[in-house]
Structure 1
Amino acid sequence: MSNKSLWSRLPLHLFLVAAVGLIAYSNSFHVPFIFDDEGSIVTNNVIKNLHRFLYDDGYIYNPRRFLGYLTVALNYRFGALDVTGYHVVNLAIHIGTAMLTYLLARLTLATPTLRREDDVTAASWFIPLFAALLFVAHPVQTQAVTYVIQRLASLATLFFVASIASYAKARLLQEESGRPFAVKPVCFYVLAVAAAGCAMKCKEIAFTLPFVVVLYEFLFFRMTAAKKVLFLLPVCLTVLIVPLSLLGTNKPIGQLISDVTAVTRVDSELSRLDYLFTQFPVIATYLRLLVLPVRQNLDYDFPVYHSLASLPVLFSLLLLLVLFGTALFLWQRSRDPQAAPELRLISFGILWFFITISVESSLIPIADVIFEHRVYLPSVGAFIAVAALVSLCFKRTVSRSIVATACAVVVALTATTFARNQVWGTELSLWGDTAQKSPQKARPHYNVALALEKSGRLDESLQQALIATRLSPKEANPYNLIGTIFGKKGDYDQAIAALSQAVKLDPTLAEAQVNLGDAYRLKRMLPQAMEQYQAAMKQRPTDASIYHKIGITFALQQNLPKAAVFFQCAASLDPSTPQYRLDLMRAQAGSMVK
């Protein structure tokens, strides 16, 4: 079979990858915004004006992840808060990454250390296709794809794989032409550097990209050390992008690369060693999910370990050491000119996994020790290794039975992903599933309570919120929700008590301050209401609704000139809300605002 005929199958293979991805996620386009989507998208005023985002607020808001948030701002520009557009983009990124995984595997099999001029087999197309199909169909990816704001992780992965693939293409063209600085290789080389920079402006996990490029060069290409350094230097210099982006921040690195905002973060002060010990069983859990994706959970109640002598830590560490040792052993064996090329490819995939997972699973403490989307980038290497292992086990002959078995695996994974996306279908089904799997963790119960409150099931919501306060008595958000529920019931005394507790626990929680101000205002305790609104305004100086509430409070105090000033501020900050302009006209006309 000629190399030309292999590449002629490219359109068919990429079509299969896209088709499987579309089927697996066909029921995800109406999944609502959940969890951190609220703060990052729904209530994030920075993304709601594209011009201001591009020329003023966007880079200041989050310079480390500017490119990722730019795509969110573009989504808002063309579809506001219609969630379908966000899911379409997320799925396109996922399918694109799967296609790049296919191309990377194909290019790697053509590198000097793997290419066998007299031995082109069906494995040359089976490995790339099976790896890409595993990646696109596997249910462990649902959190990175269906959870909208985790686009930051999936987009970083897209650019990460694009950079490695472009580097591989550039080096292959250099090998073929014998001219390192020919136009085509240089173009792909520039593309690799540009993609690396883009990846690092999506999420900090891309910090590992230069290390993977160095690994790729030394595993798959033959060149003098001096020339390797020359070719690697520009890509390696991109390693400075992430550290430079972190300069000037006052928060710990672990908090900066965390997956959730301060509003929903679990309170936890982990030492570096405790976090490292805990990550050994966490990584083992990621590996288990890749092999057996059952009991997936949005918010794991994962134990923190404090000693290397703990059996789960010790056994997990032994597993990881065996896996790492296997990668080194296979690399050593692959140096034999007669060795199967799959050996080195398996070694590369395993080492990719360990390198790329190191940012979030090492010595940098992150409050939430485990999230499934953290395995999205590492899984690229894992699936390439699995596909190569299958090819090796069957002696590089792809029979009908092997193809049928591979198809059955992909179909099963696709069905499981579809079923997992069913769970994501509503906030209540997702958080109900999570609370069932993490019954002793406060956050899932709180989010179940939120979902119930939104659907008007106030008594059930109150029960779940009370469970959350029992499990985490120092967390302010459940008390804020309890106060909101009592306010909707018209019990303002109970609302004030709960909301006061929320503000006491977290004086920076503007939402609780606003709700407490509302409760005071509805009880006609206007000075107390004004105090809470003004405190909230300091936390959210661009929130038009707070200015409007202050204006209403002044109007109730018969101070219409001051009311007009705040109505004007609200209307300026949010011209799209007609009520602000209407109340301004009423205040200017001297009529009472109720």
Structure 2
Amino acid sequence: MRRVGVAGASEDPRGSGRGALALLGVALLGAAAYANTFQVPFVADDLSSIVDNGLVRDLASYLPGGGGYAAARHRYVTYLTFALNYRLGGLEVAGYHLVNLLVHLANAALLFALVRGLFLAPRLARSALAPRRDAVALLAAALFVAHPLQTGAVTYVVQRLASLATLFYLLAAALYLSWRLRREAGLAAPGRYLGALLATLVAMKTKEIAFTLPLALLLLEASFFGRPGRRAWLGLAPFLLTLAVIPLTLLAPAGGAGLAGAEAAVRAGAWSRHDYLVTQVAVVGTYLRLLVLPVGQNLDHDYPLQTTLFAPALAGPVAAIAGLLGLAAALYRRTGPRAARGLDPAWRLVGFGILWFFLALAVESSVVPIDDLIFEHRVYLPSAGLLAGAAAAAVLGVSRLRPAWRRAGAAALVAVVLALATATFLRNRTWSSAVSLWTDAAAKSPAKARARLNLGKALVEAGRPGDALPEYAAALRLDPGSPDLRNDLGVALLQLGRYDEAIAQLRLAVQLAPDYADAHTNLGMAYARKGLLREATEEMRRGMQLQPGAAPAAP
């Protein structure tokens, strides 16, 4: 038995059961793709943000007024979850990965619900795909959960910042859509409206990428319900007011101890706004290429700064971006109510996905310089829209095939999803140890000092200080003025028993950075090994003054 849905689309009472089974399949696919990640160690910013962050070890500090609450106020929700992880399992990494995977699977489920619900909105309800909305939603969720580019936000523990913000972003959009559909049918749903508003506020306290969420809701309203009227603007107004939350939070005086690494608000880069924006044109081109062909993934891309939009390297990215935006505009025109020869309304979902992609990227790929020009985890939220649009386009394409070819087309889509899941599993192998991860990064970014430095550190921590020396030497050729490099090379030499060379490097480290606590402490250890007890005591005392409780690196 069938009944008429909210906006005229047919609803099947059995649909919820089929949807649940479909989501179970997506969850199993995601679990299989990430089955080899539970022992992936903490790396990179995980160390400063979780392992060495004393505030995370004190759950009470995240109560209002506590040090954790004050220091991570702009990303409070994510750091609270790290503190909960620590309370439940200490630094046992499997628990952190389990939470990240569950967040990823929840995001796939929310994307499924969002895409499915959009086919009940007025602009899509008459699409030929409306009866197949479960297929479109399932493909969108499967592409999202299986794509290897998502490993940057799922396998990399600290980038729960991106995946958790995406969860609340999608939850707000799904609840807003559900409320809007019920209102379209003359029904009240204040709980869904308030839930969407609460999810928006929580997203704003999870990561700054949520700043665009109210604008995404406005885009959703205009795309699938028509130009907003007075009543629609009244409904959107509270969401638009939340645009002030992140700026006000970032401008508020900081309290408590600052956190190193990823929890800094928006760290200004060493480049101008103009150069950063121009470079982001190329970066967005790289993101698009990785979404289409996820080959050459890298934790630490070595990306050249661009200073003019007319650089030859930007020709391809400019063409791709202009082409996508032009396609979105054409699809909106051709699916509008006044289109003379309109396309199937589902093509509007493709245009919406393109606009979602660029809107969601706007915080990190626009005029606000950030320390790093490119990071793969920044595509996590934007990809939700683009992959939903790709799913709609794919199902539209298959539906236009001759009946004899449709099964082959569907099989091809399944093959693509399975290939992506396999690529994700293989990419996660690279994350299996700090040595393998940084070996991969250094091989792909041989001229980047940081990749070489981190490979050297990983080798030292793995008990291979001799193998680390060539990496440090290469890094020093690229960045001879780095106190971190001098300190870490000194630690490696200390472990090898080459005390005079270690002392020379550690002296350089403290000369380059007189307040470098670890370098002073390690220099004290080197002096002690040489029997220079007075010098050792002086350096140890200096290190403890700069950082109480500091311990030397294990020799």
**Does TM, normalized by the shorter one, top 0.5?**
yes
Q: Matches of 1:474 and 1:243 in 2, distance apart?
A: 35
Counterpart contact for 1:327–1:350, Cα < 8 Å: yes
Q: CA contact under 8 A between 2:77 and 2:202: conserved in structure 1?
A: yes
Could you tell me which of 486, 498, 508 is aligned with 1:479? 486
Match for 1:134 among 139, 143, 157? 143
Separation in structure 2 between the aligned mates of residue 21 and residue 257 of structure 1, nearest angstrom: 32
Q: Is the 8 A contact 2:179 2:192 kept in 1?
A: yes
State the match for 1:518 in structure 2.
525
- 2:474 pairs with 1:470: no
Shift in alpha-carbon separation, 1:396–1:536, aligned structure 2, 3 A: farther
Alignment of structure 1 residues 257-268 onto 2, 5 Å: 259=262
Q: Cα offset for 1:124?
A: 1.3
The CA deviation at 1:300 is: 0.7
For residue 160 of structure 1, report the CA deviation from its aligned partner: 0.5
1:41/1:257 CA distance change after superposition, 3 Å: closer
* Offset at residue 256 of structure 1 (A): 11
Question: How far apart, CA to CA, are the structure 1 residues paired with 2:337 and 2:396?
Answer: 16
Corresponding residue for residue 465 of structure 2: 458
User: Could you tell me how far 1:396 is from its partner in structure 2?
Assistant: 6.0
CA distance in structure 2 between the partners assigned to 1:308 and 1:259 by the alignment: 30
Is residue 250 of structure 2 the alignment partner of residue 214 of structure 1? no
Q: Determine whether 1:81 maps to 2:85.
A: no
TM value normalised by structure 2: 0.91
Deviation at 1:533, TM superposition (A): 4.0
Q: 1:21 aligns with which of 15, 18, 30?
A: 30
Is 1:36 aligned to 2:45, yes or no? Answer: yes
Deviation at 1:168, TM superposition (A): 0.3
Structure 2 residue 449 is the aligned partner of structure 1 residue 442: yes
The separation in 2 between residues aligned to 1:261 and 1:464, in whole angstroms, is: 29
Q: Describe the shift of the 1:229–1:108 C-alpha distance in structure 2 as closer, same or farther (beyond 3 A).
A: same
Following superposition, the deviation at residue 102 of structure 1 comes to 0.5
Cα deviations across residues 12-41 of structure 1 (Å, max 9, x unaligned)? 111011011001000111101111111111
**Unmatched runs of 5 consecutive residues or more in structure 1:** 550-594
Report the residue type matching 1:91 in the other structure.
Answer: L
- Aligned partner of 1:342 in structure 2 is 346
Question: Which stretches in structure 2 are left out of the alignment for 5+ residues?
Answer: 3-9
Answering whether residue 418 of structure 2 is matched by residue 411 of structure 1, we say: yes
Q: Which letter maps to 1:467?
A: A
CA distance, structure 2, for counterparts of residue 288 and residue 358 of structure 1 = 18
* Equivalent residue runs for 1:274-353 within 5 Å: 274-336=275-337, 339-353=343-357
1:60 and 2:76 aligned: no
Q: Which of 164, 169, 174 in structure 2 is aligned with 1:165?
A: 174
- Please tell me the root mean square deviation across aligned C-alpha atoms, in Å: 2.4
Match of 1:144 among 149, 153, 158: 153
Q: What is the CA distance between 1:490 and its match in structure 2?
A: 3.1
**How far 1:343 moved relative to its partner?**
1.6
Is the Cα contact below 8 Å between 2:120 and 2:130 reproduced in 1?
no
Query: Could you tell me which of 246, 250, 261 is aligned with 2:250?
Result: 246
Shift of 1:134: 0.3
The offset of 1:392, in angstroms, is: 2.3
Q: CA deviation at 1:367?
A: 2.4
- Determine the C-alpha separation between the residues in 2 that align with 1:524 and 1:33: 36
Deviations 1:537-565 (CA, angstroms, capped at 9, x unpaired): 45434xx345xx8xxxxxxxxxxxxxxxx
Q: Which secondary structure does the structure 2 equivalent of 1:341 belong to?
A: coil
Among candidates 108, 115, 122, match of residue 98 of structure 1 = 108
Q: Distance in 2 between matches of 1:36 and 1:258?
A: 6
In structure 1, C-alpha distance between the alignment counterparts of 2:221 and 2:215, rounded to whole Å:
10
Greater Rg over alpha carbons, structure: 1
Amino acid at match of 1:225: G
* Deviations 1:69-93 (CA, angstroms, capped at 9, x unpaired): 1101111111111110000000000
Provide the secondary structure at the position in 1 that maps to 2:346. Answer: helix
Structure 1 residues 196, 507: closer, same or farther in 2, change over 3 A? farther
Worse overlay, 206-215 or 532-541: 532-541
Please tell me whether the aligned partners of residues 90 and 151 of structure 1 are also in contact (alpha carbons under 8 angstroms). yes
Q: How far apart are residue 455 of structure 1 and its match?
A: 1.8
1:513 Cα deviation from its structure 2 partner? 2.4
Deviations 1:372-404 (A, max 9, x none): 111000000010110111122234679322221
2:7 counterpart residue number: none
Matched, 1:509 2:516: yes
**Distance in 2 separating the partners of 1:512 and 1:191:** 50
Identity %: 44
Tell me the distance in 2 between the aligned counterparts of 1:482 and 1:106: 55
Secondary structure of the structure 2 residue equivalent to 1:473:
coil
2:285 partner letter:
A
Question: C-alpha separation between the residues in 1 aligned to 2:465 and 2:511?
Answer: 24
Task: Identify which range, 394-403 or 138-147, moves more after superposition.
Answer: 394-403
The 2-side partners of 1:218 and 1:462 are apart by 58
In structure 2, relative to structure 1, the CA distance for the partners of 1:204 and 1:534 (3 Å cut) is farther
1:545-592: per-residue Cα shift (whole Å, max 9, x none)? 45xx8xxxxxxxxxxxxxxxxxxxxxxxxxxxxxxxxxxxxxxxxxxx
Shift of 1:509: 3.0
1:131–1:387 contact (8 Å) kept in structure 2: yes
SS of the residue corresponding to residue 304 of structure 1 reads coil
2:81 pairs with 1:71: yes
What is the CA distance between 1:314 and its match in structure 2? 3.3
- Which structure is higher in RCO with an 8 Å CA cutoff and minimum separation 6? 2
**Cα pair distance change 1:545/1:507, threshold 3 Å:** closer
Shift of residue 268 of structure 1? 5.9
Name the CA distance, whole Å, in 2 between partners of 1:493 and 1:170. Answer: 70
1:122–1:396 Cα contact (<8 Å) kept: no
Change beyond 3 A, Cα 1:538–1:386: farther
Q: Secondary structure of 2:75's partner? A: helix
Q: 1:154 to 1:231 in 2, by over 3 A?
A: same
3-state secondary structure, aligned to 2:63: helix
The correspondence for 1:229, drawn from 221, 226, 233, is 233
CA distance in 2, matches of 1:205, 1:170: 24
Deviation at 1:345, TM superposition (A): 0.5
Q: Is the 8 A contact 1:144 1:373 kept in 2?
A: yes
Q: Is structure 2 residue 361 aligned with structure 1 residue 362?
A: no
